[in-house]
Amino acid sequence: MRTTKGIAVSPGVSIAPAFIFTDDSAEIPQYHITVAEVEAELARFREASLLAKKEIETLRDRAKKEAGEEQAAIFDAHLMMLEDPDLLEQIEHSLNDNLFNVESAILSFETEMVDKLSSSADPLIQERVSDVHDVVRRILRHLLKKERISLSDIDTEIILVAKDLMPSDMVGMSRSKVRGIVTESGGRTSHAAILARAFEIPAVLGVGPDFVDQIKPGQPVYVDGEKGIVVVDPDDVFIQKERIARLARIQREKEDKELRDVPAQTKDGTRISLVANIEMPDEVANVIEYGAEGIGLFRSEFLFLGGHVPGEEEQCREYTRVVQAMQGKSVTIRTLDIGGDKVLPELGAVGEKNPLLGWRAIRFCLEKTELFKTQLRAILRASVHGKVKIMFPMISTIDELIRAQGLLAEAKWECKTHGHSIDPNIETGIMIEVPSAAICADVLSRSCDFFSIGTNDLSQYTLAVDRGNQKVAYLNEPYNTAVLRLIRMTIGYGEHAHIDVSLCGEMAADPASAVLLVGMGLRTLSMSASAIPAVKRALRSITIEEASAIAHQALSMHSSSQVSALLTSKLSL
C-alpha cells in the first residue's frame, strides 16, 4: 500500500482499478524541405487547422450542453489560438527560415509557448500550457493521420491516471465509468479541475512526477478528492476502514438532508443566516441542495478565465441565470478581483514584483473604468430578476470606495439612458480584507450598506504572510490575536453604523470557528455550500450566551494555539 498526497480539486471518494492514459502520439518526423515545398507545407497546415477547428467547435458545443457556459469557454480559448494570425505567420516564418517540415515548425512553436507560459509566476498562466498541448497535438494528429486513444470507449469502472489531461479528453471520456481522476500535474484552477468539478468526479491533481510510471494497469487505486489523498493497492485494513467511513458519510449525508429546511439558530433561538460562496453558475444546484439562505459571495472572475473578455450581454446573461435560480434569495456579486495570484494578460494585468500588494481587484477596476462599468451595468440589469447586492473587493481607503460608488452611479445612468430597468435600491458593500479597511471601518461604513469580512486575505495581509508560500504558510493563523481583534473591530463598527456584517472567508466553514464568530457578534456566515450542514449542526448545539462567553475568553488570549485549545475543550463537534 502506498499513499500519495496531491491537490484536492474535486470532492468525493472512490476506489477502482487504475486505467493508465498516456500520450500515444507517434514520433514526430523531422526532415528538410526545399523552398519550393514551403507552400505545400503551409497548405497541409491550413487543412489540419481547419479539421482541428471543426473538432474543437464540436467539443465546445458538447461542453456547453453537458457542463455549462464557463466550461465551454475553455474551447473558445482553443479556437482563438487556432484563429490567431500570428500562429500562421510564425509557422510560415519557421518554414522559410529553417526549411524543415511543418510538423517540426509546430513543435518549435509549442516549445516557445510552453517555455513562455511555464516561466510565469502566475499559476493560472502556467496552467494554460495544457491548452497549447491540446491544440498542437490535435493539429499534429491530423497532419500525421493519427487518432489518439479515445476515453469514450471505456466500458468498466476505472480510476483515470495520467500525467496530464487535456480539456478535450475530459469532455470526450465516458464519465459514467470514470470514478476518479489522478494526474501528475495541474491544480485547482486548471481546466481538468474545472471540468472534474462540473462533472462531479472525485479528483486529485498535482501528485508529482513519475507517479504514472509507478502504477500498473488494473491496480486498485483509492481517490479522496476532499483531502487530496491517493492510495495505491490499499490493504484489507484500509478498505475495511473506508467501508466504515463510507457508511458514516452516507448516514451524515442523510442527516444533512434532514437539516436542509431546519433553521440555523442557536439553542435559545438566535437566528443565524448561512449563505454560500460560489465561483460558477452551475454551483447554484448545490447551494439549493444544502439549504443556503442565499449567496454571500459570487466570485465573478469565472467569466474571464476562458481567454476572452466577456461583454455586457454575456455577463448579464450569466448573472441573471444565477439570480433567477435563487428565486428571490439574496445574491451578492463581487466585482472583478484579478491581479495578485490571478493574472490575466488579455486584460492587461501582467506579472508584478509583489503582485499581492500590487495592481489588483478594485485598484485594477478603477483604472480600467470601461471594463468595470461594463460589469456594473450587467449586474444592475440582472438585479431586476431578484435580490442582488454589489460588493467591491480589496477596498483599502475611503477614496477608493467613493470612486467606485461614482462609477456605479454612472453605470446606473447609462442603463437608464439605454432603457434598461434596474433595481433603484440595490445595496452596495465592501470586502474587509485589508487591515486599513478594518481599522477605518467606521469611516467606510458611511459610504456603503454592508461589510463582508474576507479572512483569507485579511489574515495574510495582517500577518505579512503569503499563504501560497509553503515556507511561511504555518504563520497564517486565523485565530491569531491580531486577526481576531480586527474581526471584532469591524463587527463593532458595523453595529454602531447599523449596517450588516458577514464573513465569507474559510473560517466560516469550520464549525468551531463559526461558533466563535457568532459569539463575536456575526449573524451571517458565507461558506462553501457543502459546509452548511456541519456549521448549522454546531450552532444549534449552543446558546448565544455560551458562544459569547467563548468569544470573550478567546479575545483575551495571547496565541492562536490557546484559542484552538479553548474551542476544542468547549465544543465537542
User: Tell me: the pLDDT tens digits for 351-362?
Assistant: 556 666 777 789
Considering the domain delimited by 2-24+151-239, tell me its CATH architecture: 3-Layer(bba) Sandwich (3.50)
Q: CB-based contacts of 420: which residues, under 8 Å, 6+ apart?
A: 377, 380, 381
Residue 295 has pLDDT above 90, yes or no: yes
| pLDDT attached to residue 361 | 87
Residue 210 has pLDDT above 60, yes or no: yes
Q: Where are the domains of the chain?
A: 2-24+151-239, 35-144, 262-570
Task: Give residue 124's pLDDT band: very low, low, confident or very high (50, 70, 90).
Answer: low
User: Which tens digit of pLDDT belongs to each residue from 48-85?
Assistant: 889 888 888 887 887 777 666 666 777 777 888 888 88
Most confident of 26-30, 174-178, 347-351: 174-178
| pLDDT attached to residue 339 | 64
Please state, rounded to an integer, the average pLDDT across all residues of the chain: 86
Closest CA to 459 of 437, 434, 439: 434
Closest CA to 442 of 483, 486, 482, 490: 490
**Separation between Cα atoms, residue 191 and residue 127, nearest integer Å:** 8
Apex 181 CA angle, 177 and 184, nearest 5: 150
CA 231 to chain centre: 26
- Other Cβ atoms less than 10 A from the Cβ of 58: the count is 14
Q: Which one-letter amino acid corresponds to residue 252?
A: R
Q: Which CATH class is domain 262-570?
A: alpha beta
Query: By CB neighbour count within 10 A (0-12 exposed, 13-18 middle, 19+ buried), where does 333 fall?
Result: buried
The CATH fold of domain 35-144 = Enzyme I; Chain A, domain 2 (1.10.274)
Closest CA to 15 of 179, 176, 151: 179
User: Which tens digit of pLDDT belongs to each residue from 230-285?
Assistant: 999 998 888 888 888 878 878 877 877 788 889 999 999 999 999 999 988 878 98
**Separation between Cα atoms, residue 382 and residue 414, nearest integer Å:** 15
Q: Are 322 and 331 in contact (CB under 8 A)?
A: yes
User: Which tens digit of pLDDT belongs to each residue from 145-156?
Assistant: 776 566 777 878
Min mean pLDDT across 129-138, 159-168, 190-199, 279-288 is at 190-199
User: Which tens digit of pLDDT belongs to each residue from 408-430?
Assistant: 999 999 999 999 999 999 999 99
Task: Give residue 518's pLDDT band: very low, low, confident or very high (50, 70, 90).
Answer: very high
What DSSP element (H or E) covers 390? strand 388-392
What 3-state DSSP class applies to 99? coil
**Torsion over CA: 71, 75, 76, 77 (sign):** positive
Give the CB-side neighbour count of residue 252, counting CA atoms within 13 A.
12
What 3-state DSSP class applies to 271? strand
Could you tell me the end-to-end alpha-carbon distance of the chain, in angstroms, rounded to an integer?
Answer: 31
What 3-state DSSP class applies to 327? coil
| pLDDT attached to residue 420 | 97
Q: Are 301 and 342 in contact (CB under 8 A)?
A: yes
Catalytic residue IDs: 191, 504
pLDDT: which is higher, 226 or 204: 204
